[in-house]
Amino acid sequence: MKTESHRTGLNPMGLSVEYRVVIGMLVWLGLLSIGSVFVSLPYFSEASAAAAVAYGHVMYLHGLLIGMVGLLALVAMDVFQCQHRGLRSLVLWGTLGATVLSGVGGIFDRSVHDSVALWIQIASFMFLDEILVTLTVSLFIRARATGQLTAWVGTAAAASAFLAAIMGHLAGWLIEFGAWPPALTAYAHFMGVSVATWTGFLVTSHSHEMVAAVLALLAATLVAGFTHREAATLGPWVRIGLWDALAGTVLMTLIYVVAGFTQAQPPTLFASGPHGINGIAGDDLVTGLGVMLGGTLALVGVALEKLEDAPARWASAAFSAMILVTVVVVGYYIELHETVFGAGAAAPGSAADAVFTFWHQDFAFFIVPSVMVLLQIVHRMVHEVRDRVRITALSIAGGGVAFLGGLGYVLTDPSRFGPAFWVTALGFALILLALVDTIRALLASAQAGHPVGTSALGSG
């Protein structure tokens, strides 16, 4: 079968560098994903209104998120045809270092007293910084050279993610080592807050900005990966979505940087109820109607185009819509009904709200983006059409079933081992099967010697 024209690069005989890197990372991240079931499962560890964020859970999930961001960075370097060999090598080796170290560190970093594991993860964070800086520079060069709107969105998203990482580093330092040197205490007092309050500002801004920036980078990369065209020739829905995502990325970056380093926090909009308890956080409005809605519009526009690999394009649009519904539609509904969901343990929907807090993080911010990256890898590196179609079908079936099960658990039946639990479990099992099938298909393509896009992965 003839390979599509955009699959240019090395013609590996056997298991070449790009295939070894991708397959190795997918196996590693797959094992970490399976392990996460025993670390942080919303049905068990957070299914109560009194549940709090566990340090060990957060650090473990950092291993998954950093690995996913690393894979996305490799795909982005390939999609945007960033050809500078030095920059490609920095992203490649930075991704390998970040993925392995963050995963290993996350397994053993259970508390702030696990010093060795903590420093392993700190090293992975430094690799992530290097990846984000290199990616920002690479995408900026491409944006200046080509004028592609997708490249400009990617540049803004990568830069925003780096700023979020810096706030995360500072928050982690304050949590681990306290307000030392004294200049940190002095700055908190200059802000007019305690060090603990400032730490909370940094943690919130870091986590919210990082997630939104990654979603913006993901949307830009997928649009570019499927279209391979200049911004001026993209369809109207694609352009509208990309401009919306770009505006949302720039605005939310300003909001979170200000919120991280000053007392000025995003206001609550559409407030109602006792003491204004109901309402949508201003930053949620920007990230939801900017980054997430924009990315969905762009990917739906791509799905409507007459291009190759229609199943993957429609699946990516559907997954983006799942993120939008989970985070924006359901999230806004809960925020506007805090008297029902979030007014303390006595509220009738408090348990469902507690589960939603962790569910929308695990599903919409970890699982769905990871599957979307996986589909783009399949689109670019799996040669056989029937393999791509089967993997796409398994992925969208698993994602759709897990999506319905999760919503059912949050909104209708928050009972442990209830019907929603088993529906969601089935969805995750299908996604895992799609991952295994992807690894098999990548091995087959590599051994058959089919060319792939290798501008980043072929640098080794």
**Domain presence at residue 394:** yes
**Domain presence at residue 10:** no
Give the total number of structural domains in the chain.
1
Q: Could you say which residues of the chain have pLDDT below 70?
A: 1-16, 40-53, 229-232, 343-346, 414, 449-460
Kind and range of the H or E run holding 270: strand 268-272
Question: Which residues have a Cβ under 8 Å from the Cβ of 213 and sit 6 or more positions away?
Answer: 157, 158, 160, 161, 164, 249, 253
**Domain presence at residue 11:** no
**Domain presence at residue 385:** yes
**Domain presence at residue 1:** no
Identify residue 122 by its one-letter amino acid code. I
**Domain presence at residue 5:** no
Closest Cα partner for 312 from 302, 323, 325, 322?
Answer: 302
Cβ–Cβ < 8 Å for 184, 199:
no
Q: How far is CA 451 from the centre of its chain?
A: 28
- Tell me what pLDDT residue 8 has: 37
Alpha-carbon gap, residue 209 to 163, rounded angstroms = 8
- Tell me what pLDDT residue 215 has: 97
Q: Within 13 Å of residue 424, how many CA atoms lie on the same side as its CB?
A: 24
Q: Give pairs for 107-112: CB < 8 Å, separation 24+.
A: 107/35, 107/60, 107/63, 109/56, 109/59, 109/60, 110/55, 110/56, 110/59, 111/55, 111/56, 112/55, 112/175, 112/176
Write out the residue range of the structural domain in which residue 156 sits: 17-459
Residue 201 is part of a domain; what is its CATH number?
1.20.210
**What is the value of pTM for the model shown?**
0.89
Alpha-carbon gap, residue 33 to 29, rounded angstroms = 6
Phi, psi of 48 (to 5 degrees): -160, 155
- Tell me what pLDDT residue 458 has: 40
Torsion angle of alpha carbons 133, 135, 137, 141, nearest 10°? 180
Closest Cα partner for 239 from 157, 154, 282, 298?
Answer: 298
DSSP one-letter string for 385-433: HHHHHHHHHHHHHHHHHHHHHHHHHHHT---TTSHHHHHHHHHHHHHHH
Alpha-carbon gap, residue 173 to 155, rounded angstroms = 27
The tokens describing 88, both together, are: 């490609």
**Domain presence at residue 91:** yes
